[in-house]
Amino acid sequence: MNELITDVKSLEIETLKNLKNSKANNTLRAYQSDFRDFSSFCTKNGFSSMPTEPKIIALYITNLSKTSKFSTLKRRIASISVIHKLKGHYLDTKHPIIMENLHGIKRTLGSRQKAKKPILINDLKLIIKALDEEKKEKLRNRALILVGFAGGFRRSELVNLENDDIEFVDEGVKILIKRSKTDQSGEGVIKAIPYFDNQEFCPVIALKEYMKSKSETPIDKKIFEISDKSVALIIKKYAEIAGLDPSRYAGHSLRSGFATTAAEFGAEERNIMTMTGHKTTQMVRRYIQDANLFKNNALNKVKI
């Protein structure tokens, strides 16, 4: 009997490990950060955060709605739910008191996110030219920004690139993404970036030059050797030097900039999705819609 109890406990431990391994480290950290905020709310108000109940969740999101976006409310609920599952507790996040409260908040606040601005072609050129101000990390930052834009990369994908993931070929460069937000099982995908006609803004040449400069020093396993937060800071820094409003740009601006620009130049939806790794068309169609706001505008037919 004792042996059976021991076996069950070891199975429970292994099961928890499997649940944790099903999520990327960055995702787990985000869940934990969200849950800490919820725990703080519960502690201040004398509630139990683990396990909790739908009524407490409803009170929490009502309080949160005073200072946060609607998308943040949904993410916090998802995070609280995941942490409960990891701890072996059931939580009904579809309970009417939560869902009806969300609907009411949505009608009051609206649900459309104020997205960061995409880096389009003209913005990209200004930012790359602003890199002339840089001396120490010019090659790295130039490669980071151009490759990030051309490949429609997520920040996490960029900073996790390793030397073995890069293969230069006659047509350009093939980059292996071992794991991403939409590929948690690690099947991997290869992104192909061709040479650009304009060498000044060519991501393949920029990456080659940067990697060549790295080979003269002790080689680190990671290509860029920075955190995902640093990607956003670098973009903001050079956006400001270029005369752009840094508060309107973030790490995601490279990815959204690629998708919007590709759509503007007539790239097909499925080809954009192949590069960005989107699994559904919803977000890609939003980029296409943004790209066509003026191109397919009915007012283009109006002559005054």
Catalytic residue positions, numbered: 154, 181, 252, 255, 278, 287
Q: What share of the chain is helix, strand, coil (3-state, %, to 5)?
A: 60, 5, 35
| Paired tokens of 127 | 């930012």
Residue 194's contacts (CB-CB under 8 Å, 6 or more residues apart) are 171, 172, 204
Cis ω on the peptide bond leading into residue 203 (within 30° of 0)?
A: no
Query: How distant, in Å, are the alpha carbons of 14, 115, 179 from that of 21?
Result: 10, 30, 13
Contact yes or no for 158/267 (Cβ under 8 A): no
Of residues 276, 237, 234, 205, the one with CA closest to residue 145? 234
